[in-house]
Amino acid sequence: MSQVAYVNGAFVSSDQATVSVYDHGFLYGDGVFEGIRVYHGRVLRLREHVARLYESARTIMLQIPAPPEEMERLIVETVRRNGLRDAYIRPVVSRGRGDLGIDPRKCPAPTIVIIVDKIQLYPEEAYRVGLKMITATHRKASADALNPRVKSLNYLNQIMARMEANLHGANEALMLNAQGYVCECSADNIFHVKNGEVFTPAPHLGILRGVTRDAVIEIGRDLGVAVHEGTYTLHDLYTADEMFLTGTGAELGPVVTLDGRSIGDGKPGPVTNRLIGAFRDLVAHEGTPVFDEASVR
């Protein structure tokens, strides 16, 4: 069944949606995007996601021709037209149609696309028994090259890491920064647990500051769990009691092996499971309503 997408001012069937072959998002990855979830007819943390979209655009000097409030309205309307109460949203803003050169001045107007569909990054079993992860040889791009805080359309660095995970039969790849410090996964943020306390790399190390990551930090502290943002090495992860990853698509996924080493006892741990339960409680009640009956489950 074809979904409804928003493309430059019109709602069209996703099967019929088109973008110019001269669009610089297609030609050069020149643009930004977000990944947002809908749970029980509510868009989770819509304002935070849209704010990050506009921050990414500002950094690359991409002027989005609509205020954030209008973008929020368009996202909600696209979800409503698809009639999905549980879904994944992908708003994309590219530099727009230009020529075969890279000069952004040749792109007079950005392209705006909003896609709504289902998503499942990992099989359900993986959340019960845990995920297998390897450390990629590909390092995260340095902040003085392309700041990882920008959620850009150019994901080749992460894709190469993901290919390494595939080659090793792993679910996900951990990425280090140029100095060898733990950074994040190919598409998720990473946390580890030691002696009942939770640790995650600080933003200055070169991570995308995930909205789900921030939600989990809030949840942990609300539960009375100490959560630290700092600098960690592979030794810290290899010797952790528990490990989990977070992301809009992945939600919270327990990690039970890293580079062939069992994490803790090789099973999802109690702190991880407690946070997963609290996160599911959060998404059951929080969010921007899409449908009039969104409060009724």
Which CATH number covers residue 185? Answer: 3.20.10.10
pLDDT in tens, the chain (297 residues): 689 999 999 999 999 999 999 999 999 999 999 999 999 999 999 999 999 999 999 999 999 999 999 999 999 999 999 999 999 999 999 999 999 999 999 999 999 999 999 988 888 888 899 999 999 999 998 888 889 999 999 999 999 999 999 999 999 999 999 999 999 999 999 999 999 999 999 999 999 999 999 999 999 999 999 999 999 999 999 999 999 999 999 999 999 999 999 999 999 999 999 999 999 999 999 999 999 754 433
Answer whether residue 292 is part of any domain.
Answer: no
Structural domain includes residue 152: yes
**Where a domain ends, among 117, 145, 177?**
117
Q: Which residues contact 154 (CB under 8 A, 6 or more apart)?
A: 28, 29, 30, 146
The verdict on residue 276 lying in a domain is yes
Same domain, 107 and 164: no
Q: Nearest-CA neighbor of 94 among 79, 109, 115?
A: 109
Which helix (H) or strand (E) element contains residue 53?
helix 46-59
Same-domain check for residues 269 and 144 = yes
Query: Does 200 lie in the same domain as 57?
Result: no
72 and 167 inside one domain: no
What is the number of domains present in the chain?
2
What's the pLDDT score for residue 294?
46
β-strand pairing of 197-201 with 227-230:
parallel
Let me know whether 90 and 137 are in one domain.
no
Q: What is the pLDDT of residue 296?
A: 38
Residue 129 and residue 38 share a domain: no
Phi then psi for 113, rounded to 5 degrees?
-130, 140
Q: What are the structure tokens assigned to 167, written together? A: 């080659």
Query: What pLDDT is stored for residue 297 in this prediction?
Result: 38
Question: Domain containing 93 — which CATH number?
Answer: 3.30.470.10
Q: Which among 99, 113, 106, 161 has a CA at the least distance from the CA of 136?
A: 161
pLDDT digits over 246-262, tens only?
999 999 999 999 999 99
| CA dist., res. 134 & res. 257, Å (int) | 8
Asked whether residue 183 is domain-assigned, the answer is: yes
In the listed set 67, 85, 117, which residue is the last one of a domain according to the structure?
117
| C-alpha distances out from residue 14 to 7, 32, 42, 144, Å | 9, 20, 22, 37
pLDDT at position 292, please?
A: 76
Do residue 273 and residue 132 come from a single domain?
yes
In a shared domain, residues 140 and 250: yes
DSSP H or E run through 51: helix 46-59
Calculate the CA dihedral of residues 163, 275, 199, 184 and round it to 10 degrees.
20
Q: Is 113 exposed, middle or buried (0-12, 13-18, 19+ CB in 10 A)?
A: buried
E strand or H helix that includes residue 92: strand 87-94
Residues 99 and 222 in one domain: no
Q: What are the tokens at 153?
A: 């359309």
Residue 105 and residue 128 in one domain: no
Residue 297 in any domain: the answer is no
Has residue 256 been placed in a domain? Answer: yes
Residue 277 counted as domain residue? yes
294 belongs to a structural domain? no
Q: What is the DSSP letter of 167?
A: H
Q: Specify whether 175 is located in the same domain as 46.
A: no
Whether 97 and 162 map to the same domain: the answer is: no
> Residues, the chain, total?
297
The residue out of 84, 101, 117 marking a domain boundary is 117
For residue 172, the enclosing domain spans: 124-283
Q: Report how far apart, in Å, the C-alpha atoms of 3 and of each of 10, 150, 291 are.
A: 14, 28, 17
DSSP state of 140: P
